[in-house]
Amino acid sequence: MIALIDYGMGNLCNVYRALESVGGNVEIIEKGVELDRFDALILPGVGNFGDGMEHLNSRGFTPEILKAVSAGKPFLGICLGMQMLMESSEEAPGMPGLGIFKGKVLRFPDGGEKVPHMGWNSIRVEKFCPCLNGITDDSYFYFVHSYYVMPDDPAVTAASCEYMLKFTAALTRDNVFATQFHPEKSQDKGIQILKNFVGQLN
């Protein structure tokens, strides 16, 4: 069973349908106390880092997510759900993130391309991990974001992308995988990533 975390800021319907299409047994969960009974967790999200963390905290998700990750349960973060894995963000000074990865979230610089970075862009695979099985360099994914993650340890970057600068498009470590792009909106390649994630549970 996969818990799709509903904290009021995620594109749940598209993610839910995409997971079901690859055989995922998914349930939408609105309270942190319910996470214990699930085998895997998915944290989607769009919007502001500070609002996202406030909602996770108020619904009791934060300690339960940390407990599940520490216990080794497969975890997938998407877009804002990836950014909240970091320690902090320029978008919400003073609001701690989940801190699963050391590092911060930065805003794209002004004066270059349009912000947000929106639309299709290609990635470069930096490190093999099970969720990227079948994904090659120059695969295209759909992005919508004004901020990007900068991990302290470059070894956790699973894939990178370029938009004004080179940034981390996917993170991985042990049982955690996260993407800045939206796999549920990325057609065949995105579906492949979700299929890989679900396949870990079989």
Residue 162, phi then psi, degrees to nearest 5: -120, 125
Amino acid identity of residue 196, one-letter, is N
> Cβ distance 158 to 125 under 8 Å?
yes
Catalytic residue list contains 182 = yes
From 55, 64, 79, 131, active-site residue: 79
Residue 60, phi then psi, degrees to nearest 5: 75, 15
Coil, strand or helix at 91: coil
Catalytic residue list contains 113 = no
> Cβ distance 50 to 80 under 8 Å?
no
Catalytic residue list contains 131 = no
> Catalytic positions, please?
79, 182, 184
